[in-house]
Every structure is written in C-alpha cells, then in structure tokens.
Amino acid sequence: MNELLTEDRGAVRILTMNRPEKRNALNTALTRALLEGLRAADTAEPVACVLLTGAGQGFCAGADLSEFKDLGSEHRQRIEERAELTMQLHLAFPKMAKPVVTAINGAAMGGGAGLAIAGDMAVMAEGAKLGYPETRHGIVAAIVMANLVRQVGRKQAFELVALGEPIDSRTALALGMVNRVVDEKLLMEQALQIAEKLSRVSRSALSATKQLFHEVADLPLAEALRRGREANKRMRAFRKT
C-alpha cells in the first residue's frame, strides 16, 4: 500500500495520508513520503495549490510510537535521523512557494495536530478533534510546539501541550487554529473550493505574499516593515502567471 496518495484536480494537488488502519500515524515511510510529496508539488509547474488530508476516519494520529518502542540509546543515530526528518517536514510548509490547505477529516493528534495547522489555511470537519496528548505518554510535543506558539496565544498553547486534552472543532476555530468548520460530508468540497480559489490568484503575487507573511511573523516591527518595503518595490515587476 502506498503511504501517500496523489491526485491532481486541475491546478490542485491532493495529498492523502494513506494508513487508515493506523489512523494515518506517521511512521518513517509516511513522513518521508509527505516531505517528498510536498516538495514535488512545489516544483510541479501545473500545480498551483496543495490540499492535504487523511484517508479513513482520522486525519493523523501523530507519530507511530510502535516504531520506537524498542529503541534504546544504542539506536541514537536512527532516533536523530527521524527527528531531523520530522523537523524538515514541518519546515517544508512555510518554505513552499505554493499555498497548502489542510482538510481535517477526523482526529488530529500530536504530530497530526502539527500537520493540521501547518498549512496556510485549514478546514475542519465538525466532529473532528485536535490535540497534543504527548505529556500523557510521558513525552513532549517538541517539534510541533514551535508552530503552535506562533499561531495561538501563549496561555492557550501551554494548556494544550501541558494538559494534553483534545479540543473540538469550534474551540479550534475560536483559537484561530482553523479557518472554517463544516459538516463532514462537505469537508472536501469546501476545502477544494478554497484551494481552487487560491490556485486562481497570480502565482507570483501569492508566492511573494506567502514568503513575506512567514518572514514578518517572526521579526521585530522595524525589520518587518523594511522587508515589506522591499517586497513593495519588487511588486511593481509582478506579472500574472
């Protein structure tokens, strides 16, 4: 079975995590396939937007812990390689020139919650849940924490990673973690509509918008304004593509 399914609908590339029997838990194979799939979509000329979702009833259950249950200190290199791979996967989203929409069709936990909010826009099914239960397993929501604290207020973010309690779709919407909450039956339709709208925006303008958006989010105001000034000057040379 392919861990990741790829389908093009016009200018939208749909990536579907395909381990439904494991609620799309992220083993090394799926993590690598996702990273390669995102990078391939970003360089594919016909593709203007990416839509990420999960097969079956869940979006993504997070890391496949069974892959590491027997690993000890003697497997340090393997542990380090997996941590690096996970970091590169989450770093791929802001680095991409093309926008990513996530369609959260079911439970998104731990690393899965990190993927759910890593996209530029997110649509969540009404019955879906989102959470960071790592502390309940005696571990830390480590890599996914960096993006969470950039999107949610500190008090709310700390509660999510410290208590590990899942939240429903309406709470996720109120916290600004997702853009839309829709009926499960309409999820892919609504997510595709957003992706198709994004695909019709000038590619050069949208790419520059996304790049600047991620740059200014982490900069002091003066430097952010300087970056904006430079982008404003480059904007004059934009041509629709």
Give the residue numbers annotated as catalytic, written as ranges: 134
Which uninterrupted H or E stretch holds 16?
Answer: strand 12-17
- Amino acid, single-letter form, for residue 39: R
In angstroms, the CA 209 to CA 105 distance is 28
**Contact of 97 with 63, CB cutoff 8 Å:** no
- Amino acid, single-letter form, for residue 102: T
In angstroms, the CA 100 to CA 113 distance is 15
DSSP 122-164: EEEETT-EEE--GGGGT---HHHHHHHHHHS-HHHHHHHHHH-
Centre a 10 Å sphere on the Cβ of residue 191 and count the other Cβ atoms it contains. 29
- Smallest CA-to-CA distance from 42 within 100, 91, 2, 102 is with 100
**Contact of 67 with 79, CB cutoff 8 Å:** no
Q: CB-based contacts of 92: which residues, under 8 Å, 6+ apart?
A: 35, 38, 39
Which pair of tokens denotes residue 64?
Answer: 């496949």
